[in-house]
Structure 1
Amino acid sequence: MNTDTNGQTLQAALLMVAAMAIIGVIDNYIARLAGEIGLWQFHFTRGLMTVPLVTLMSLAGFGTMRPLRPWRVVLRSLLAATAMLCYFGALGLLPIAQVLAGLYTSPIFIVVITGLFLRVRIGPWRVLAVAIGFAGTLFVLQPDPANFRLAILLPVAGGLFYALSAIATRSLCAGESTVVLLGGAMLALMLLGAGGLVWLALFPVEAAPGAEGFLQRGWVWPMPQALPWVVVQAVGSVGAVFLITRAYQLGEPSLVGVFEYSVMIFGPLYAVLVFAQGIGPWQGLGIGLIVLAGAIIAVRSR
C-alpha cells in the first residue's frame, strides 16, 4: 500500500469516526424531545429541513437528485425510512446502548438474508460472526419473558430493515447518486411522518404522558422545548451522512465500515457522562460481541 493510499485510508477512518461522534451525541437527545412531541411529528418537521438541505447539496454539485431507476429508489427509500422509524421510535423508549445494539445487528441480517435467499456462500467465519452477534444482542437487550415489552423488538426490527435497505442499495440501486439515495430516504421519512400525523388526526388515541407516548402522540404545537433538538437532528444527520459518504469514497469500504461501530462507543459514553445512563457489565460484553461480529463480517467481505 503506497503513501497516498495510506493517507486516504487514514482520512476516511477519521471522517467515519467524526460522523459517528456526531450521531452518537445528537441521537441521545431524542429522549428529550420524545416527552413533548411524537415520532411522526419529529420526522415530518425534520424532513421539512433535511429535504431542502439535501437539495442544496445537489445544487452544490455533490450529486444529482434525478434517479436512474425511480421505482427501485422508491423501494430502497421505504426500506431505509422504515429502519429509521424503528430506530428513532426505540430511542424515545429505550437506552441508546440497547437501540444501537439492535440497529447494528444489520450486518448479521445481511449475512443471513444473502445466504438463505440470495444463495451467497457465507463460509464458516461469517457463520461464527452471526452466532457471536446473536449472543451479543441477547446480552445487550436482556429480554425478560416475565416483563416483556414490544419496544425491545423495535431496534432489532430497525436492524432488519437497515439490512434490507443495504442489500437493495447494492443489488437494485447500483450507479445511483448518493444524494438521490439520501434525499429519497429523507423524503420517505417526511411523508411517513405526515401519514402518521394524518392517521392520528382521523383516528386519535390517548397518548401516555412523557416519552411513553412517543409513538401514539399526534400533532403538538407549539413545541418550544423540542424544536431546537429537531433542528440539531436535521443539520447533524445531513452532515454526518455526508461525512460517511465521503469516507466510503476515500477508503476501502470493508475497512472503513469497521469504524462505523465507533458509534457504539460515542453514543453510550455520552449517555453515561451527560445523562447518567448506566451500562451494566453484561451489556458492555454484548456491545463488544456485536462489534466483534461486525468486524469479522467486514474483514471476511474483503
Structure 2
Amino acid sequence: MKASHPALPDNTRLAVFVIVVTVFALALGDAVIKGLSADFTLWQIFTIRSLLVLPVLFVIIRLRRRAVSIWPHQPVWTILRSVLLTLMWVTYYVALPHVDLSIAAAAYYTSPLFITLFAGYFLGDRVGRSGWAGVVLGFVGMWLILQPEAEGFNGFTLLPLLAAVLYALAMILTRSHCRTENVLVLSAWLNLSMLFAGALVSGFLVVFGLVGDGSGDQTFLWGPWTDMGPIEWGTLGLLSVAIIVGSVGAAIAYQVGHSSTVATFDFAYVAFAAIWGFVLFQEELNLRALTGIVLIVCAGILAVHRSAQSNRSQ
C-alpha cells in the first residue's frame, strides 16, 4: 500500500485516527452540554464531571508513568494555565445555549490565528506572509459569521471568540513555561481548577441567595443543582468519558504524529459540531455562515502549517 506522504512516520495514520476520534467525542460532549443547558447549571456540570474524571486521570498517570508526580514542576504557571483554560471553557459553554454549535465551534477555532499573533508579540516568532494571510483570511471568515452590521447581531457569538483568545494565551504559556510538564498532569490540574470553580461558584450562589428558581434563560448560570437520577448520572458519565478521551487522545495524537498534520485534522471538530448541531438541534447554516466557516478552517490550517515550517527552520 502506497503512502501519500512517504516522509511522514509510520504512526501518522494512528495519530490522525486518534485525533479524529478525539474531536468526535469532544464535539458530542459539547453538544450534550448545549442540550443540558436548560436543565443543568454549568457549575454542577463542572463539579461532578471533574469529580468523575480526576480519579481516572490519576490512575492513568500511575499506570503509564509511575515515577511521575501529580505536583507540577512549575506550579504557579501550571495553575495560571489551568485558570485560563477554565475561563475559556466557561465563556465557550455560556455561549452554547444562545449560539448554533457550528458557529461557536468555528469562532473557537480561530485560536490558531491568535496563537500566531501572540507568538509573534510575546515570544518573538516571525509571523511571515503566510501567517498574516491566514490571520486576514480568518478574520474575514469571522466577520461573515458574526455579521456585526446586521440589526439582529447576537452578542453571544463574541464569547467563543473570547474563548479562542484565552486558549491561545494558555497555549503560549504552555510553550514558554510548561513545556516540561507531563500532559496528563496538566489535564489533572485543569480538572482540579474546574472542580474548584464549580464548587466555589455554587457555594457563592447558595450563601448569598442568588440561586434562581430554575426557570428562564439563566438556568445554566444561576439555576439550582438538578436532582441526580440514573439518566443524569449516565449523561454526566458520558461527558466525563468525552473529556478523558479529549485529554488522553489529544496527548497521544500529538506524541505519535507530526503536530502540523494532527492540528490539520483537529479542525474536524468544526465539521462534527455542524453535524451534531443539525442532528440534535436542527441547526442549518446559510451560505454566508458556511463560507465564513470554510475560510476560518482554511486560515487555521494555513496558520498551523506556517508554525510547523517556522519550527523546522529554527
TM-score by length of 1: 0.92
RMSD: 2.2
TM-aligned CA deviation for residue 237 of structure 1: 1.3
Q: Give the aligned residue type for 2:254.
A: Y
Query: Counterparts of 2:103 and 2:36 in 1: how far apart (Å)?
Result: 19
For 1:78, what is the secondary structure of its paired residue?
Answer: helix
Residue in 2 aligned with 1:269?
275
Does residue 175 of structure 1 match 2:187? no
Residue in 2 aligned with 1:53?
56
TM-aligned CA deviation for residue 189 of structure 1: 0.8
Does residue 235 of structure 1 match 2:238? no
Residue in 1 aligned with 2:160?
155
Query: Counterparts of 1:30 and 1:145 in 2: how far apart (Å)?
Result: 28
Change in 2 beyond 3 A, CA 1:153/1:58: same
TM-aligned CA deviation for residue 166 of structure 1: 0.7
Change in 2 beyond 3 A, CA 1:275/1:146: closer
**Deviates further, 167-176 or 20-29:** 20-29
Change in 2 beyond 3 A, CA 1:150/1:174: same
Query: Counterparts of 2:164 and 2:7 in 1: how far apart (Å)?
Result: 35
Does residue 101 of structure 1 match 2:106? yes
Query: Counterparts of 1:144 and 1:226 in 2: how far apart (Å)?
Result: 41
Contact 1:12 1:246 in 2 (8 A): yes
For 1:278, what is the secondary structure of its paired residue?
Answer: coil
State the identity %: 28
Of 41, 45, 68, which aligns to 2:44? 41
Contact 2:39 2:219 in 1 (8 A): no
Q: How many residue pairs were aligned?
A: 302
Q: Give the aligned residue type for 1:57.
A: I
TM-aligned CA deviation for residue 186 of structure 1: 0.9
Residue in 2 aligned with 1:246?
252
TM-aligned CA deviation for residue 116 of structure 1: 3.0
**Deviates further, 55-64 or 23-32:** 55-64
Change in 2 beyond 3 A, CA 1:251/1:64: farther
Does residue 295 of structure 1 match 2:301? yes
Query: Counterparts of 1:88 and 1:278 in 2: how far apart (Å)?
Result: 20
* 1:121-160 alignment, distance < 5 Å: 121-143=126-148, 146-160=151-165
Query: Counterparts of 2:146 and 2:218 in 1: how far apart (Å)?
Result: 18
Of 12, 15, 19, which aligns to 1:12? 15
**Deviates further, 152-161 or 111-120:** 111-120
Change in 2 beyond 3 A, CA 1:53/1:181: same
Residue in 2 aligned with 1:69?
74
Of 254, 265, 288, which aligns to 1:259? 265
Query: Counterparts of 1:124 and 1:239 in 2: how far apart (Å)?
Result: 36
TM-score by length of 2: 0.89
TM-aligned CA deviation for residue 177 of structure 1: 0.5
Unaligned runs of at least 5 residues, structure 2: 309-314
TM-aligned CA deviation for residue 292 of structure 1: 0.5
Unaligned runs of at least 5 residues, structure 1: none
Change in 2 beyond 3 A, CA 1:156/1:243: same
Contact 1:85 1:189 in 2 (8 A): no
Does residue 112 of structure 1 match 2:144? no
Change in 2 beyond 3 A, CA 1:271/1:145: closer
